[in-house]
Amino acid sequence: MPANLAAALASANDQLFMLLEQTRRSLAGQRAFDVALVRALSRVVSEATPHIQAARAMREEHPELGVALEHYIRMAKELQAELEKAQIMLLGQRHELDAARSHMHAVSQWTSALSSTR
């Protein structure tokens, strides 16, 4: 088993676990879902896609990595489900911001009209 491949897979698993936990904490309101987390998630998701697609070939070439690969794939799928929840949360927040923006615009117009009649 190539040591660098096993080490890279262990590092990727650690990183996926950390991001999965941060995403779950964000969805629970225990952490801000900020730009840094979105960028980290975007990077990991873009890096994960080719690895997931190559998992079958990697298992055949390196059967000793099977458990680590399965763990990686399981966490990537869990992260995908959490990201779908985050997308729904962000769409809800966007709707709230749009409503608040409309309200602020109406208030601004009302105050302009009130000040022009005085």
Structure-derived torsion over alpha carbons of residues 80, 16, 4, 58, reported in degrees to the nearest 10: -20
CA distance 61 to 52: 15
Q: Using one digit for the tens of pLDDT, what is the confidence trace for 38-89? A: 888 888 878 777 777 777 788 888 888 888 888 888 888 898 898 889 889 8
Domain parsing of the chain, residue ranges: 3-87
Q: What is the pLDDT of residue 107?
A: 96
Query: What values do phi and psi take at 3, rounded to 5?
Result: -65, -35
Evaluate whether 19 touches 86 at the Cβ level (below 8 Å): no
Q: Using one digit for the tens of pLDDT, what is the confidence trace for 15-33? A: 999 999 999 999 999 998 8
> The whole model's pTM is what?
0.72
Q: Whose CA is closest to 80, among 25, 14, 19, 11? A: 19
Evaluate whether 1 touches 62 at the Cβ level (below 8 Å): yes
